[in-house]
Chains A and B, each alone.
Chain A
Amino acid sequence: MMTVTQWREQQLTGWGLRNVSRCRVATPEHIEELPDILEQACLAGHTIAPRGAGCSYGDASLNDGQIVLDLSHLNRIREWDPDSGQVTVEPGVTIDQLWRRTIGDGWWPFVVPGTSAVTIGGAASANAHGKNNWQIGCFGDFIESFDLLLPSGQTITCSRWDESDLFHAAIGGLGMLGIFTSLTLQLRRIYSGQLAEVQRAYHSLDALLDGLEEATYWATDIVGWIDTSASGTQLGRGLLKAGRDLFPNEDPHPERTLSVGGQYRRSLARMLPGGLVPRLAKPMTTRAGVWAANRMQWLRGQGRKASARHYQTYVGANFPLDAIPNWRDTYRPGGLIQHQSMVPAETAASAFKEFLARSQKAGIAPSFAVLKKHRPDNFLMSYLVDGYSLALDYPVRRGEEQRLLRLLHELNDVLADHGGRCYFVKDSVVTAEQVRRMYPAEKLAQFHALKRQYDPMGLLSTNLYRRALTME
């Protein structure tokens, strides 16, 4: 039986609002509709881009003029076992949905990105990471198994033991090998809804990196914020935030914090009407505004009180991007481009200093810069290295866009020279040639061999895939 699937013309954007694309969007309500959609797209000669919550910054979920498969309505939590902490979900279930369901039982996802809006399917396709990446690994490390709908219409169950090659390639495979229809994750036990957290100021990039290493003695979640207004000997100075789960019995009243209500504090930003804060914050994306906002943040972090340990909710600590609703609207109309580079430990400091210095020299200081520590993993298209990453948010201002794109192109060359890698789902600018300099040739070849094997017609495609991953 064949139903006529509706797809509607719609303008979509990446999370950074800069990548805009007119696509034909199909929004299935049930998993069972997916094979039909694949078949019809194939007959119509269209390619399909899977899309979750649209939280990739660039064009990883965009497909110009063609079909975007919006999986966000496939959001049922199929099974939850509060004894083992294993959950089986449809791909459109968000991290937000997930933790709300499991926190009362004392479980939290092992790995969460900076916003809870992302879907599990999206996080798996991107092989997302969190602030604890350096210690426990990436999102894919806690996926037990998944069902993958192949372009042929067949569904395969993959795990570390069955279809291991496909398992390790589809995770982090950017949706280019198949569509996740069901995923089983292992969550982690928590003994309180709060984390112990500390913030400290470091007056140079080297000191910040030393501080980060020092924090690995006790903390699990570590993230550095860099003041992009500083230059010279203080280039790369910033604030280090380190935290860890509470030990059993450390929280005298875990039942209060291990609840959805216990995770939210009143915040002014939440009480104001939705669009107001981004409108008021608009001047902060101008050149002077970026400087002032960074300088202010740095000075605020100097206070002695900030450096004593305090307790923070999981939501507050893990999802800083959700603290201010619609924060990305601040960057309208141009949007923002994020550039996250993963660099091996030996060359990281010199690469990051060069990124910051070149940006300042070009007169385009990033509005926001974040440092993290990483470790490599076993996934085929792994972007993670034994080192550090620096994520830089660049506002796209009128009249500056071309200059910015040139700068970012340069930064990607510097990155490749330092043995680093770009992170596809944040990227907007990397070229296929640069990717070949960043990623091992045999891994790319293996990925394309799998692509040919499972998607010989090239049914699955995105703007990102065509831009960055096409073969010669």
Chain B
Amino acid sequence: MKIRDTAGDRTFHVVNVAILSVFTILVLYPLIFVVSASFSSAEAIANQEVYLWPVGFNAEAYSTVLASPNLITGFVNSVFYTVVGAIIGTVLTVLAGYAISRDDLPFRKSLTFFFLIPTLVSAGIVPTYIVVRQMGLLDTRWAILLPGAMSVFNVIITRTFYKMNVPNEMLEAARVDGASDFNFFFRVALPLSKPIIAVNLLFYGLAQWNGWFSAFLYTNSPDLAPIQLVLRELLAQSQVNPAMIGGGDVSEIIKRRELFDKLKYAMIVIAMIPPLIAYPFVQKHFVKGALIGSLK
């Protein structure tokens, strides 16, 4: 026999569903709008006629994107930087975070402080540019991957995670069984750190996917540009005010403005797809990894 909900339960459910629905709409509407706008005509967007569904349905924006070599190159580059950057960053972070989480590491406090120095004083653009230049990294993919490959914030989270989840007792137990430090790390600590690895991969991957500044500063070749830099250029050129440049030909300005108006929503859609795909797989680790690790 089915037990009927009490009036209080029912009210709770109604309120609950209502609040969650509002929340869902708040999150979902911008996504639907962007997708709809990307399939709408430029006129409809310019006149703000798009509210929910596409107006003047067409896929011209996407065919323009597919016909633009720099946008395709940018997308492929971004995928590369995201994957490689996430792996490099995660490897470094896990190694550093594990090491400084161990109580028996000599000079542990000093090492941790050493890692913190760059977060307190950062050198600025010109000195880092000189370092990158003198290491011969200018205009290479390494200039985008290596500077800032490891984030101290992530190291601290990872260290805390290990302190919580790989306690000293575990290490002692492994020692009794005759495990060396390397054995312990690879056979005990690492298998326990899937959540923090997932979180690190996501953080580093997302930072690379959204990043444009390193590419802007350290590379010149258009073949190396990530999608965000390509988009940034498109946006910058479309915003040039004719009054600001003496002697500009207005038809050039319109050409840039029209291209941007046509592409902007399609580009947002394309730029948000990979993170949208990645999130659900990583999200479940978030609770165990970043949240617990960072709070305690």
Chain B binds chain A:
no
